[in-house]
């Protein structure tokens, strides 16, 4: 069983790859648990091969020939995570559409050409929501993206629906809340939600670009990797016509993240957080929901973290301890 992760060098790609390798099996095209014999990590930079257990391929997701060659043959499952993140897609309009829209089309077209129908899991985002939002977004909250990134993700979801409807692949899309804590910053507007925890725990001061009251819908990497695998393994009839699942993310304010660091730091000397609101960042995050409640996903066994303290403790155990040693 050949499994491909686009964006395999990224934070979530690496977490997902380890989870798949540790599990050793995924649901195959026939619906039975099948050993994963090949795991391919594709990205525009060289991925960690995870002790040589994964094959690493570098290339441009927006190059059609590259993606056709990557997916050709016997690929059974594709986790499509590759993307230009929110702030990057907003700043570089052409790059965002080339990677996030054209790249997704190339992946789906390569899947359509396969001799057997593959399973495709597409990483979407709660950036598909915007405008005058309720305090909590739910399964029936209508999407109204206010960024290019959110629009590109919403288009990707609809492509998944259409290619599945036509019988070209077995697709499903996952709307992700903010995944934290990242071990290093990226260009997403939500990166502050990781930095405000990661940097102080490493003894570094942090200038936070949002105000203390700003909430974020949060999910840990552990839960995210588990969710991708669960969604992949679901029979198509469990999803029905609606192939997009909203994942629940707990509401955590920036000030609450700071307090969680203090409660869970142990003997570490922690850095200080200085509030330095940035108008451009505030404009983006003010349009995002503070909490996501995906009842469909939860009914299928995909549950959120219990608290911000749990998320912080997972980061310390999974990432920070390994960095320090």
Residue 273 covered by a domain: no
pLDDT at 324 over 60: no
User: Is 94 exposed, middle or buried, given 0-12, 13-18 or 19+ CB atoms closer than 10 A?
Assistant: exposed
Residue 277 covered by a domain: no
What percent of the chain has pLDDT above 70?
A: 99
Tabulate helix, strand, coil % of the chain (nearest 5): 40, 20, 35
What's the pLDDT score for residue 189? 80
Q: Which of 97, 129, 149, 163 is catalytic?
A: 149
Number of domains in the chain: 1
Alpha-carbon torsion angle 193, 197, 198, 199, nearest 10:
100
Q: Which of 87, 75, 88, 62 is nearest to 7 (CA)?
A: 62
Residue 200 covered by a domain: no
- At 148-182, the pLDDT tens digits run 999 999 999 999 999 999 999 999 999 999 999 99
- At 8-39, the pLDDT tens digits run 999 999 999 999 999 999 999 888 999 999 99
pLDDT at 325 over 50: no
Residue 280 covered by a domain: no
Active site residue 149: yes
- pLDDT-derived band at 131 (thresholds 50, 70, 90) equals confident
- At 278-307, the pLDDT tens digits run 998 898 887 778 899 999 999 999 999 999
Residue 205 covered by a domain: no
- Whichever domain contains 139, its CATH number is 3.40.50.720
Average pLDDT over residues 139-147: 94
In sequence order, which ranges of the chain are alpha helices (DSSP H)?
11-23, 64-71, 86-91, 93-97, 103-112, 148-165, 192-201, 221-233, 236-239, 254-264, 279-285, 295-299, 308-315, 321-324
Residue 276 covered by a domain: no
How far apart are alpha carbons 76 and 170 in whole angstroms?
10
What pTM was estimated for this model as a whole?
Answer: 0.93
Which domain range does residue 239 map to? 2-180+217-249+291-306
HSE-CB for 114 with a 13 A CA cutoff: 30
What's the pLDDT score for residue 322? 66
Contact 261, 194 (CB under 8 A): no
Residue 323 covered by a domain: no
- At 183-241, the pLDDT tens digits run 988 878 889 999 999 999 999 999 999 999 999 999 999 999 999 999 999 999 999 99
How far apart are alpha carbons 10 and 6 in whole angstroms?
9
Residue 8 covered by a domain: yes
Structure tokens at 140: 């029936």
pLDDT at 144 over 60: yes
Average pLDDT over residues 134-159: 95
């Amino acid at each position: 069983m050949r499994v491909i992760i686009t964006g395999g060098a990224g934070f979530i790609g690496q977490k997902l790859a380890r989870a798949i390798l540790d599990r050793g099996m995924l649901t195959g095209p026939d619906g039975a648990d099948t050993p994963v014999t090949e795991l391919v990590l594709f990205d525009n930079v060289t991925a960690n091969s995870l002790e040589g257990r994964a094959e690493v391929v570098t290339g441009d997701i927006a190059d059609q020939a590259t993606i056709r060659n990557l997916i050709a043959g016997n690929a059974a499952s594709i986790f499509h995570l590759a993307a230009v993140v929110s702030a990057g897609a907003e700043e570089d309009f052409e790059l965002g559409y080339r990677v996030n829209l054209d790249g997704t089309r190339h992946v789906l077209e390569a899947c359509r050409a396969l001799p057997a129908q593959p399973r495709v899991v597409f990483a979407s985002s709660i950036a598909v929501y915007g405008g005058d939002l309720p305090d909590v977004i739910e399964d029936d909250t209508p999407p109204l993206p206010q960024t290019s990134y959110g629009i590109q993700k919403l288009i990707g979801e609809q492509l998944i629906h259409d290619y599945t409807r036509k019988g070209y692949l077995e697709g499903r899309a996952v709307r992700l809340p903010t995944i934290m804590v990242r071990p290093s910053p990226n260009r997403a507007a939500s990166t502050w939600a990781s930095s405000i925890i990661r940097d102080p725990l490493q003894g570094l001061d942090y200038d936070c670009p949002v105000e203390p009251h700003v909430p974020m819908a949060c999910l840990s990497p552990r839960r995210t990797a588990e969710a991708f695998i669960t969604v992949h393994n679901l029979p198509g009839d469990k999803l029905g016509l609606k192939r997009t699942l909203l994942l629940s993310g707990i509401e955590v304010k920036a000030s609450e993240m700071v307090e969680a660091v203090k409660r869970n730091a142990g003997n570490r000397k922690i850095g200080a957080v200085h509030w330095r609101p940035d108008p451009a960042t505030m404009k983006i995050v003010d349009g995002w929901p503070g909490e996501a409640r995906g009842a469909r996903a939860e009914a299928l066994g995909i549950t959120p973290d219990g608290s911000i303290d749990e998320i912080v403790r997972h980061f310390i155990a999974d990432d920070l301890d390994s960095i320090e040693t």
